[in-house]
Amino acid sequence: MAGNIASSAINNALDGFSFVLLIPFLNALFGQSLLPQQKGWLTTLLDATLGRLLDPADKMGSLRTVILIILATVALKNIFVWTAGTLGAQLQEYVTRDLRDAVYQHLMRLPIGYFTRTKVGQIISRILSDTDQTKLLITAVVTDAVNAGTAVLVQVVVLLRISWRLTLLALVVAPILTLVLQPLLRRLRKGYRELRNDLGEMTSVLQESVSGVRLVKSYGAEQYEERRFLEASGTYSGGMVRMARVALIGQPITETLGAVIVVLLLWFGAREVLLNGSLQASEFLVFIAIVMKLLQPMKKLSQLPAVAQNAFASAERLFDVLDSPTEAATDRGTRAIASFGDAMAFEDVSFAYENEPVLEHVSFRATKGDVLAFVGASGAGKSTLVDLIPRFYEPTSGRITLDGIDLREITLPSLRALTGIVSQETVIFNDTVRNNIAYGSAARFSDAQVETAARAANAHAFIAELPQGYATPLGERGARLSGGQRQRIAIARALLLDPPILILDEATSALDTESERLVQEAIDRLLEGRTVFVIAHRLSTIAHATEILVLDRGRVVERGTHESLLAKRGAYHRLNDMQFRAREPDASSVPGA
């Protein structure tokens, strides 16, 4: 930034000097004294730089000398123009990179709640598009403003020396422009912020349709998705056109005012030369040339606020993210724990999403080595309940304790280091098999440890058949693997970390018989020696659970073992009966029935 400012100042000073050099050139052309007659710093500068090189008796020789010096000055000026441009480009790109990196790093530390209420497309738009738009702000406010500002400053200094009256007349346009453009700028800021949101919506529709392309095609919903995208695209483009209309008003206003000022300068300047004799013709011509040169940076400075509104709108959206408190900022935990010794207990825990109750007065205790299963209809609160264990969310009331310590007193990193999660929706990254199994800790585990975990998860056999074995890239979202293979990769990931507390969202119900058998074997190994919280979809898979809790609308309505709950013939019995009937073959579909 310092280099950019210095280079801009030097190149604009040389630019102004090159115009000043025209005065002796024009004086020689008009047959007058080569140097200005008025005493002052301008005459002193010309005398110091040209005085010894000019020969009044040799007009053509003097003209040739002035031309050569002008060419040398312009060449030197352009070296600094290139330097300023290069440093400015580095400045804007690296500041944009730092901002993009800062937003992403902050985003990764935000609580889960932020992601549940913000669309993925909006998040992507902010990280990629909005950070790129702020480049305009850096370009406009720093590089362009510095360059135009120093140009105006240098040229105004020269103009004041030539004629302070004409200079004041030339500069009257600036405050007028500022007043005229203020309502325009306010409208632009508001409009551009709406545009950034429209872009986020369009990105969101695109992300959803591409991610769910299998569903789109299987339901023949191509035209429906097209309509959604075309509507979002049309809204964005319409907004861009409206903002362009408003933004482009500034240039005609600037051009018209500039033309009026130039005409007035020509009229009053001619009077100074022809009637008053207070200004030499050569000085007046140079004055007009500098004013014409000055119009471009003045126009740029007057348009900077309008150009910057889009970037300001994007910057506001970025700071909406950066100002959101991270988990670390809101974490009140001060105790780091290294192990799980006795039990975890929910004590009258309730939770609500934005005043909408999800869990109400839930209490239970899981001692070390227990397997607790949660069953119930969709929306009963099972997933929310287990999300409270690694503190993805905090209870609205009540408390959860680990070995008698409130989870809110435990630091998040140490708590989550004790917790492993195998989700129903297995996440596979576009990376190698090894890096997916040792996710986030690739350098911490050896190849032998990774392979041992894969074998225990019944995954080694199919991994060995992949083209590059454990070094095989799995494609986006594990596209190269079947559902059962993805589940076994996830189980291997959990086995490698070996957490004492495991959250298992059982997902064998959607697998074929062979895959289900292999995954179930891997799960059985995964459960050994751990305290496990299972969200059960197939009741048959939790028959040996230490305790089963039946949830209904956020409340625990039954609890007990598989056999005791069946004997009660209550909610659990009804769920079991429904699943049993669903698995019975339809007699009418059996040949010979």
Q: Which amino acid is at 117?
A: R
Q: Are 315 and 99 in contact (CB under 8 A)?
A: no
Comparing C-alpha atoms, which of 458, 476, 463 is closest to residue 433?
Answer: 463
Predicted confidence pLDDT, tens digits, the chain (593 residues): 889 888 988 988 888 788 777 777 677 666 666 565 555 566 666 666 776 666 666 767 777 777 888 888 889 989 998 998 888 888 888 888 888 888 888 888 888 888 888 887 778 888 888 888 777 777 666 677 777 777 778 778 777 777 777 777 777 665 666 666 667 766 776 777 778 778 778 887 877 777 666 667 666 777 878 888 888 888 888 888 887 777 777 667 766 776 777 777 777 777 777 777 677 777 777 777 777 777 677 767 766 776 677 777 788 888 888 898 888 888 888 888 888 888 999 999 999 987 789 999 999 999 988 889 999 888 888 889 999 999 988 999 999 999 999 999 999 889 988 888 887 777 788 788 898 888 888 788 899 999 988 888 888 888 898 888 999 888 777 777 887 888 888 888 888 888 889 888 765 555 556 666 777 777 777 777 788 898 887 777 788 888 999 999 899 999 999 889 888 888 888 888 877 665 555 444 444 43
410, 337 contact by CB (below 8 A):
yes
Q: pLDDT at position 591, please?
A: 43
Tokens encoding 531 = 């305290």
Q: Would strands 531-535 and 397-402 be described as parallel, antiparallel, or unpaired?
A: unpaired
What per-residue confidence (pLDDT) applies to 251? 66
Cα-based distances in Å from 140 to 2, 84, 146, 151, 201? 16, 14, 9, 15, 27
Q: What pLDDT does residue 76 have?
A: 92
**442 SS3 class:** coil
Here the tokens at position 74 are 């312009």
- Coil/strand/helix, residue 428: coil
| Beta bridge partners of residue 372, listed in sequence order | 533, 547
Q: Which residue has the tokens 């709640």?
A: 113
pLDDT of residue 206: 79
Residue 354 DSSP symbol: T
Map tokens 């529709």 to a residue.
Answer: 205
**Where does 450-530 show beta strands of DSSP type E?**
501-505
- pLDDT of 448 reads 92
Helices marked H in 163-221: 164-171, 173-211, 213-218
Residue located via tokens 């195998």: 422
Task: Please report, for residues 223, 407, 485, 525, 544, the alpha-carbon distance to residue 517 in angstroms, rounded to integers and kept in the order given.
Answer: 40, 36, 12, 13, 17
